[in-house]
Amino acid sequence: MVMMQTNRMALGEKALDLEATLHCGQVFHWTPQGQGHFGALGNEAAYVEHDPSKNVLIFAGASVETVSNYLGINDPLNDVISTFPTEDAHLTAAMAYTPGLRICRQPPWECLATFITSSLKQVPHIRQMSLTLRERFGRKRSLGGLTMHDYPGPERLAEAGEERLRDCGLGFRAKSLARAASRVASGEFSLDFDGLDDDEARAKLCQLYGVGEKIANCVLLFGYARFAAFPIDVWVERVLRHLYAPRGRKRRWPAREMQAFAAKHFGPYAGYAQQYLFHYARHHDKVLFGAR
DNA sequence: TCTCAGGTTGACC
DNA sequence: GGTCAACCTGAG
């Protein structure tokens, strides 16, 4: 057992599914460790564990504010649910499946960079690339005898250059990451979106090479807590097409219309609905979509 | 060996 | 203003 000084936070009535929250594809660097998970919160190594019997969060390496902010502990899930369409049996089922799934607040650069590398990759690959980038270019951090590297900032990755990023297994994504890192590091591209509404912020992100609608929405949702953002990846597209498509649109439903439908149907917390549906679909693909 | 994956881009109609 | 192949890499 790893020795470290831990703190505790009583969650009261707040639901939390830590396992799902850290491993459902929002964030990619956490590793199961003992009863909990070891990773990093921003620049510091951290450990988090949930005791469901007492509904207590046990953590080390970060302040209570940092941990609860990162895990979205204070997101008002009951209010979120109350904004959802009441007659939506699919969403109701998805929420019942993982009621404590929450949306993380990742540091914006870490979130942007990670999702730039996510293009056409599966979760284990994204995780592998993230860990390699951390190990090669991040700073080593220790906690209770465990070590973790923080996510390299844009300056560090810009300095590394495309070829060395390619060596981390990024493939064609290296060019996108290198370019984004240079633009952010030079200050030419600001990650401060204060004063921009969601559409403006999304349009700005899409100016980056290698960032399209899907990645921009992931960054808005997981890095900026813009809860109306609704990333449509192949899983969510499958969900929408199979379970929500209007008559005659099952086979052909333009992305633009699909996106508009999601915003209207799921409302201001569409991003939360997306996470529940995404997670549910990945664990019930045979039932929902049949053998493929 | 071969296909395909949690996307984006640029070329072509 | 829409369709379609190409792009790196690793896993099944």
CATH of the domain at A149: 1.10.340.30
Amino acid found at A150? D
**Residue A10 contacts by C-beta under 8 Å, 6 or more apart in sequence?**
A54, A55, A56
A24 touches strand B (CB under 7 A): yes
Q: What is the pLDDT of residue A248?
A: 78
User: Residues of chain A with pLDDT > 70: what percent?
Assistant: 99
Is A201 part of a structural domain of the chain?
yes
Q: Is the pLDDT of residue A292 over 70?
A: no
How far is the C-alpha of A157 from the C-alpha of A137, rounded, in Å? 7
Q: What is the pLDDT of residue A3?
A: 75
Which nucleotide across the nucleic acid strands is nearest to A23, CA versus C1'? B6
Is A193 part of a structural domain of the chain?
yes
- Across the range A68-86, mean pLDDT stands at 96
Q: What is the pLDDT of residue A37?
A: 96
What pTM was computed for the model? 0.96
- Across the range A86-90, mean pLDDT stands at 95
Q: What are the φ/ψ torsions at residue A262 (nearest 5 degrees)?
A: -60, -45
**Residue A167 contacts by C-beta under 8 Å, 6 or more apart in sequence?**
none
- Across the range A11-21, mean pLDDT stands at 96
Tens of pLDDT, residue by residue over A110-137, are 999 999 999 999 999 999 999 999 999 9
A130 touches strand B (CB under 7 A): no
Q: Is the pLDDT of residue A2 over 70?
A: no
Give the residue with minimal CA–C1' separation from B6: A233
How far is the C-alpha of A220 from the C-alpha of A115, rounded, in Å? 11
Q: What is the pLDDT of residue A278?
A: 94
Partner residues linked to A149 by β-bridges: A140
Is A146 part of a structural domain of the chain?
yes
When the pLDDT of each residue in chain A is averaged and rounded to a whole number, the result is 94
For residue A124, the tally of other CB atoms under 10 A from its CB is: 9
Is A75 part of a structural domain of the chain?
no
A233 touches strand B (CB under 7 A): yes
In chain A, the number of structural domains is 1
Q: What are the φ/ψ torsions at residue A35 (nearest 5 degrees)?
A: -85, -5
Is A276 part of a structural domain of the chain?
no
Is A259 part of a structural domain of the chain?
no
Is A190 part of a structural domain of the chain?
yes
Q: What is the pLDDT of residue A1?
A: 52
Q: What is the pLDDT of residue A187?
A: 97
Q: Is the pLDDT of residue A291 over 80?
A: no
Q: Identify the band that residue A287 occupies on the pLDDT scale cut at 50, 70 and 90.
A: confident
Name the strand (E) or helix (H) holding A155: helix A154-165
Q: What is the pLDDT of residue A252?
A: 80
The protein footprint on chain B, as nucleotides within 7 A of a CB, is 5-10
Burial A263-282 (b: 16+ CB within 10 A, else e): eebbbebbbbbbbbbbbbbe
- Across the range A70-98, mean pLDDT stands at 96
- Across the range A56-63, mean pLDDT stands at 98
Q: How far is CA A263 from CA A9, A80, A84, A230, in A?
A: 35, 14, 11, 7
**In the structure, how many helices (H) and strands (E) does chain A have?**
14, 7
Q: Identify the band that residue A32 occupies on the pLDDT scale cut at 50, 70 and 90.
A: very high
A120 touches strand B (CB under 7 A): yes
**Residue A202 contacts by C-beta under 8 Å, 6 or more apart in sequence?**
A213, A216, A217, A220, A229
Which residue in A48, A47, A31 sits closest to A127, CA to CA? A31
Is A152 part of a structural domain of the chain?
yes
Sign of CA dihedral A211, A180, A204, A229: positive
Q: What is the pLDDT of residue A230?
A: 96
Contact A168, A149 (CB under 8 A): no
- Across the range A248-269, mean pLDDT stands at 90
DSSP A113: H
Protein residues closer than 7 Å by CB to strand C: A 120-121, 124-125, 128, 166, 169-173, 175, 254, 256
A169 is in which domain, residue-wise?
Answer: 108-224
